[in-house]
């Protein structure tokens, strides 16, 4: 069986289009990392004031890219550990309070002195300033007692502080990587059965001893291994890039710090705010892998029922992208609230939304995990059963 899986795996990766697409995927990961990571980093800090033409102006130093990361890491390093009211005050002194320039034309607030410390205080609403209030933003004057904040009041556990910018970049890229690997999987696995019909190898394979049993199982296992392998390699590269630039600290911080949302949602959806970042990353990878297996199973089914590779490809893409279309339909307000609620829950369990960190952040309650398991089984089991039945009974007419 192992030899058969190896041969089927070889057949998948031996296609030129698969190798080209995988190369493009790796290139995309590096580009995405540069754009969303170091290319997007800015660290500004006041270095004093100066008087020019009788006007006192604040002197600022702005760093970007790797230098900005280096300085923010240094700034945060001094405060790493359990958060206390006293530590928050010292953080405000070291990083200053975040100030915005309000742009009337674009009705937006543009940070003028943002660095890791003051952005952390502002975005987590740990100060008395208004954050991103487009019309009447007020610069903070002091930090709030921790227990008066959402972050502090919603958990009884100690809050750990560290520089976690790298993990933010990682989960942003992970979503893109998940989508790209899903598309690669559809391209790579659409031919698994359909090509055997198209190039007339099916009559030979189906007349071999293992052709209708182990041969089919080997195709399926190889397909799953390919997709999970591609996902694993892509994620490993992304993690290595992030760790090299941002460091490995902060895995024990609350995941709520990743997107600054602090909620203990009960009922249907749940929330990962109080998971650690390490736990959240593991959960994210697990959910992504589950979504990937669903996609592989459906693509193999599409490949077995299609006569041509492109038909299987189209079916796979429709299955993957359809939740996006439904989401658009819901966003446009076309559904009744009750229907909308049900559809959102189902959407969160599809392969597309299994790649979206936002969907996972707020979809971890027991009922949602149960729903995910049910949808997984409803897609995977019939797909695999139908795929093997259809291929096994293929009539060479």
Partner 1 sequence: MLSMELRGVTKQYKQKKAVDDFSLKLEEGVYGLLGANGAGKTTLLRMLCNILKPTSGIVLCNGMEIDEMDGEYRRILGYLPQQFGYYPNMTAERYLRYLAELKAVPPGLIDSKIEELLELVELSEMRKKKIKTFSGGMIRRLGIAQAMLNDPEILILDEPTAGLDPKERIRFRNLISGFSKNRIVLLSTHIVSDVEYIADRILLMKQGKLIGQGNLEEIVEQVEGHVWTCMVDAQTAEEYNRKYAVSNLKNQGEKVELRIVASQKPVEDAVSVEPGLEDVYLYYFEQETEE
* Closer residue to partner 1 in complex, CB, 208/389: 208
- Among residues 104, 106, 109, 105, which one has the least CA distance to residue 140? 109
How far apart, in whole angstroms, are the C-alpha atoms of residue 57 and residue 54?
A: 10
Please state, in angstroms and as integers, the Cα–Cα distance from residue 1 to each residue in 8, 118, 304, following that order.
Answer: 11, 58, 21
How far apart, in whole angstroms, are the C-alpha atoms of residue 355 and residue 336?
A: 26
* Closer residue to partner 1 in complex, CB, 204/240: 204
Q: Which stretch binds partner 1 (CB under 8 A): 5-13, 163-171, 222-230, 351-359?
A: 5-13
For position 77 contacting partner 1 by CB under 8 A, the verdict is: no
- The correct pick among 49, 51, 366, 395 for binding partner 1 (CB under 8 A) is 395
How far apart, in whole angstroms, are the C-alpha atoms of residue 302 and residue 189?
A: 10
* Closer residue to partner 1 in complex, CB, 1/377: 1
Please state, in angstroms and as integers, the Cα–Cα distance from residue 142 to each residue in 85, 92, 96, 120, following that order.
Answer: 11, 8, 10, 14
Residue 46, beta-bridge partner list: 60
* Closer residue to partner 1 in complex, CB, 366/395: 395
Query: Contact 167/281 with Cβ under 8 angstroms?
Result: yes
CB of 388 to partner 1, least distance (A): 14
Site string for partner 1, 180-219 (x = CB under 8 A): ----------------x--xxxxxxxxxxxxxxx-x----
Query: Contact 181/227 with Cβ under 8 angstroms?
Result: yes
* Closer residue to partner 1 in complex, CB, 4/237: 4
For position 239 contacting partner 1 by CB under 8 A, the verdict is: no
How far apart, in whole angstroms, are the C-alpha atoms of residue 69 and residue 66?
A: 5
Size of residue set near partner 1 by CB under 8 A? 29
For position 10 contacting partner 1 by CB under 8 A, the verdict is: yes
CB of 3 to partner 1, least distance (A): 5
User: Which parts of this chain interact with partner 1 (CB under 8 A)?
Assistant: 3-4, 7, 10-11, 14-16, 196, 199-213, 215, 394-397
């Amino acid at each position: 069986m192992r030899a058969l899986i190896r041969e089927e795996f070889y057949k998948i990766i031996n296609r030129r289009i698969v190798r080209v697409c995988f190369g493009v995927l790796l290139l995309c990961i590096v580009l995405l990392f540069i754009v969303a990571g170091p290319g997007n980093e800015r660290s500004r800090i006041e270095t004093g004031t100066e008087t020019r033409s009788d006007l006192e102006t604040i002197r600022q130093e702005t760093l970007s890219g790797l230098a900005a990361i280096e300085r923010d890491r240094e700034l945060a390093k001094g405060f790493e550990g359990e958060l206390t009211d006293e530590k928050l005050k010292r953080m405000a002194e070291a990083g200053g309070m975040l100030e915005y320039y309000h742009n009337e034309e674009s009705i937006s607030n543009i940070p003028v002195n943002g660095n890791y410390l003051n952005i952390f205080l502002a975005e987590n609403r740990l100060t008395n300033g208004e954050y991103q209030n487009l019309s009447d933003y007020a610069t903070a004057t002091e930090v709030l007692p921790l227990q008066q904040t959402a972050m502090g009041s919603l958990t009884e556990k100690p809050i750990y502080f560290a520089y976690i910018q790298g993990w933010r970049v990682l989960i942003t890229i992970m979503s893109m990587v998940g989508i790209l690997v899903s598309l690669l999987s559809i391209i790579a696995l659409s031919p698994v059965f359909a090509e055997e019909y198209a190039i007339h190898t099916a009559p030979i394979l189906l007349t071999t001893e293992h052709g209708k049993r182990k041969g089919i199982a080997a195709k399926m296992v190889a397909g799953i291994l390919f997709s999970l392998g591609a996902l694993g390699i892509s994620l490993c590269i992304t993690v290595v890039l992030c760790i090299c630039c941002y460091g490995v600290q902060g895995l024990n911080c609350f995941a709520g710090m990743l997107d600054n949302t602090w909620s203990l949602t009960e009922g249907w959806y749940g929330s990962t705010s109080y998971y650690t970042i390490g736990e959240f990353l593991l959960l994210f990878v697990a959910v992504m892998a589950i979504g990937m297996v669903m996609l592989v199973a459906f693509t193999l089914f599409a490949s077995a029922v299609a006569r041509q590779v492109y038909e299987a490809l189209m079916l796979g893409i429709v299955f993957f992208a359809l939740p996006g279309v439904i989401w658009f339909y819901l966003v446009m307000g076309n559904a009744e609230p009750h229907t909308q609620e049900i559809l959102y829950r189902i959407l969160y369990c599809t392969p597309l939304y299994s790649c979206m960190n936002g969907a996972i952040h707020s979809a971890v309650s027991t009922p949602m995990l149960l729903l995910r398991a049910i949808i997984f089984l409803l897609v995977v089991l019939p797909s695999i059963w139908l795929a093997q039945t259809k291929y096994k009974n293929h009539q060479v007419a």
